[in-house]
Structure 1
Amino acid sequence: MRGLKEIYDSGLPEAELEEKHRFKFCTLSGIVLLKLIAFQERPEIRRDDIKDISKILKHFFDMYADEIYENHNDLFGDKDIDLQWIAARVLGRDMGKIAQLNEYLFLRIKKILKKNTIDIHSSDIAKIMAEFFKNMIEENVKLLEQVKIGYLEN
């Protein structure tokens, strides 16, 4: 699958169990990249991937608050931006770092994000996110826009 090599090459975190078993695992930003690709390839059967991305976006700030405050404090200057938007932007930044390792992958994800932020009527991803968040499609397009902004900042 496209993206696996780039995710691996970007440096996977390691975990150790019982001081004898070590293994690497995929970051949330890597998982989101893979889920976007999977959805693009088979949207008719991969709706749950977008719901998984929505769950990640919902909890990302709480899970990475220390890292966000420490390394992304430039995002806190605007009073009108909420924590979920900040989390989306940081997630986009992390995704961009991985995708930059392969120009084709970077452009592919950029195209997916652009298609889903250009208009509320053409955003299949935002429509599925609205089912998860129980909100308006427009809100999810704005959230995806933050992912895209972060993605393109690298």
Structure 2
Amino acid sequence: MPFGEIEAKPSNITVEGTGLTSLNMPGFKEIYDYGLPEAQLEEKHRFKFCTLPGIVLLKLIAFQERDEIRRDDIKDISMILKHFFDMYADEIYENHNDLFGDKDINLNWIAARVLGRDMGKIALLNEELFLRIKKLLKENTIDIHSSYIAKIMAEFFQNTIAENVKLLEQVKIGYLENDSSKIKIE
């Protein structure tokens, strides 16, 4: 991932040479600044990697910029949502036990809410980014007839658009729990 000194202004990466020389990379800096986990292989090789909430943020940004060709990003997000609870179960039970106890909420919704919380923590490092994702989530949860993301998710999950709007609603609720007092949107 292109981080560090090659970043010219927020979100812009400039590379010298022939061909494409400037890229707009919203979200990369925020994900890096929030902190990337580090892995070590064979006690020799150390590297940092992006978390699933960071990946979902980047995929939402990419989808928003070119939704006509980025449908696979929503399918990838759907796959993450499908397995998020199992992959983060220890963290969810330890740090998000406030979400348990409501008989009307299922484990997939809990996972979606936690994913939203984690995404919001990253996005809050940049108000413009936070508002951008907030707007996208709002647009895709306001009505089942206008949710393009939920429609793509329905193809992946082979369920209804309404079910996926409810899942996206949980992502949005978690996302907005981070700091609703500092950032307002109409």
The bucket for the TM-score relative to the shorter chain is over 0.9
- Pick from 111, 126, 130: which aligns with 1:87? 111
Q: Which runs of 5+ in 2 are unaligned?
A: 1-24, 179-186
The alpha-carbon deviation at position 140 of structure 1 amounts to 0.2
Percent identity of equivalent pairs: 89
1:85-111 deviations in Å (ceiling 9; x for gaps): 000000000000000000000000000
The alpha-carbon deviation at position 146 of structure 1 amounts to 0.1
Name the residue aligned to 1:119.
143
1:68-123 deviations in Å (ceiling 9; x for gaps): 00000000020110000000000000000000000000000000000000001110
- Pick from 19, 22, 41: which aligns with 2:43? 19
The alpha-carbon deviation at position 143 of structure 1 amounts to 0.2
Q: Which runs of 5+ in 1 are unaligned?
A: none
Aligned residues, how many? Answer: 154
Computed over aligned residues only, the root mean square deviation of the Cα atoms, in angstroms, reads 0.4
Letter in 1 for 2:94: E
Name the residue aligned to 2:128.
104
Distance 2:176 2:141 in 1: 13
1:15-63 deviations in Å (ceiling 9; x for gaps): 0011111000000000000000000100111000000000000000000
Q: Which has the higher contact order (CA 8 A, sep 6+)?
A: 1
Name the residue aligned to 2:182.
none
Q: TM-score, normalised by structure 1?
A: 0.99
CA radius of gyration, larger in: 2
1:25-44 equivalences in 2 (<5 Å): 25-44=49-68
- Pick from 48, 51, 56: which aligns with 2:80? 56
